[in-house]
Amino acid sequence: MKAKGTQRLDKVLSSLGIATRSELKKMAKQGRILVNGEIVKDTSFHLNPEQDHIHVDGQAVTYKKYIYLMLNKPPGVLSATEDLRDRTVIDLLTEQEKHFAPFPVGRLDKDTEGLLLLTNDGKLAHQLLSPRKHVDKTYFAKLDGVVGEEAIFSFQQGIQLDDGYVTMPAVLKLIGDAIQSNEIEITIQEGKYHQVKRMFEAIGRKVIYLQRIRMGNLDLDRTLPLGSYRTLTETELVQLQSIHKSKRAIKLLALDVDGTLLRDDHSLSEVNIASVQKVAASGIEVVLCTGRGAPSALPVFQQMGLSGTIISHNGAATVNGDALEVQQQIEIETPIYKELLVMLRNSQLFFDVSTATSLFVENLIPEAKKMYDLYEVEPEFISDFESLDGGVVKVTVYEPDPVRLDDFQQTLSKIMPAGITMVRSGIYFIDFMVPSVNKGVALAHYAKSRGYIPEQVVAIGNYNNDIEMLHYAGIGIAVSNSTQEVLEVADFVVASNNDDGVSDAIASYVLES
């Protein structure tokens, strides 16, 4: 059995671009490879590349897993790994560096110059690029005309782009005489397509030259000619890595209920109970999030011996405490709600209607009763959904046959009324809500009301209706049996809900943060 931390000799040397595995095999037989001063003729030999000393043809081999390069990107070169027509930043590297398969961290437009980090360290790249990490990116720009002091205030408030998106606040610095100069520095924390150019276009100015001069705490080396690059110094690398190592104290833990905190059989394990209780005892606020109504999550709080806030109906309502006091709700407009009722009745599928704290049904099919019993929810019978004239936050279709629900979703997506959105919140469920509703927006609103910033929030989820919640939180965690879309946006992945994944996440990223 190989020792922990060891690798095959041929894997180590081929990963460094020394030679191919077949070439290394011949070199070893010729006695040209030494490990700790001893000739090694079998390239399947295991060694610790970070501790053992390797020599090939008398030359010491320095092992490194990752490569970190600072490039002063020239204009006319694409920030990509390959392209069929244009040169890319990877084409500027030597074959030895290409062997590490580096990629650009973010992108600069084809005509934009300046600082670009190239690495094969995916974790560091994610930390630098994730919008919720709020990493500053500073640019020097020349404009086709001057901008005044009023532009500074406008950029501080966020600029509405041509597609309606409002940017995060940006810092604008006027260089030289504000009346005469057309040169500026701008610091943003996002990376939307052509963002800096579009921000200035929104205030009537055109960017005629753009250069990135800083990313996080890494400054462009002004001695690097355009198209040149160098390895980051140890100090620069430590400074970059400190961006994601520095943490603020966690203040809030947001937990999806079904499929995350609860097992597939809807049970709550003793391990997860104990872990969440430790979180609450440490002073960290616990918020439960669910696609269903707050009454379905209330028994979970009670089983843990806790009370708190519930973000329900995929974010359409936020309620506090055992009394289910409504803090916020987003209602479906009555005309849209009634139009939706007609469409759903025509489908002949079972559906229920929710207000912030109540669940209504006109009838009850056996499959739905089993589902409500599992969730410990007691629906209220109503003679006609039409009588609910206001206060409706969500309408949910429940269909035990996923294939039939797929067909329904495909058909209805083509005729959806304006002012309503359709969200597949599980294999058997489709929710209809106001388009602006999602768990992430509700969590952000609640956190702000409590004075928390995203870096003080940890969110754990498993399904697509949790994606915005994971995006918002400073640390977004998925359990291992999450959908692929959720796994792709999560910062970390832990054990599945059936293997006490919440407990794993709490131990690694909440209590130890």
Residues noted as catalytic: 109
Looking from the CA of 58 toward its CB, the CA atoms found within 13 Å total 0
Measured between alpha carbons, how far is 317 from 222 in angstroms, rounded to an integer? 52
What residue type is assigned to position 128 of the chain?
L
Tokens of 328: 């916020």
Tokens of 179: 């009346």
Tokens of 151: 């532009």
Measured between alpha carbons, how far is 470 from 137 in angstroms, rounded to an integer? 23
Q: 161: which residues sit within 8 A by CB, 6+ positions away?
A: 167, 192, 195, 198, 199, 202
Measured between alpha carbons, how far is 164 from 146 in angstroms, rounded to an integer? 25
Measured between alpha carbons, how far is 109 from 86 in angstroms, rounded to an integer? 13
Q: 159: which residues sit within 8 A by CB, 6+ positions away?
A: 166, 167, 170, 199, 202, 203
Please give the DSSP secondary-structure letter assigned to residue 141: E
What CA–CA distances, in Å, run from 85 to 77, 109, 251?
Answer: 11, 16, 50
Would you say 80 and 107 are in contact if contact means Cβ atoms under 8 Å apart?
Answer: yes
Full 3-state SS string of 34-90? EECCEECCCCCCEECCCCCCEEECCEEECCCCCCEEEEEECCCCECCCCCCCCCEHH
Of 399, 321, 297, 396, give the one whose Cα is nearest residue 354: 396
Residue 387 sits at φ, ψ, to 5 deg, of -70, -15
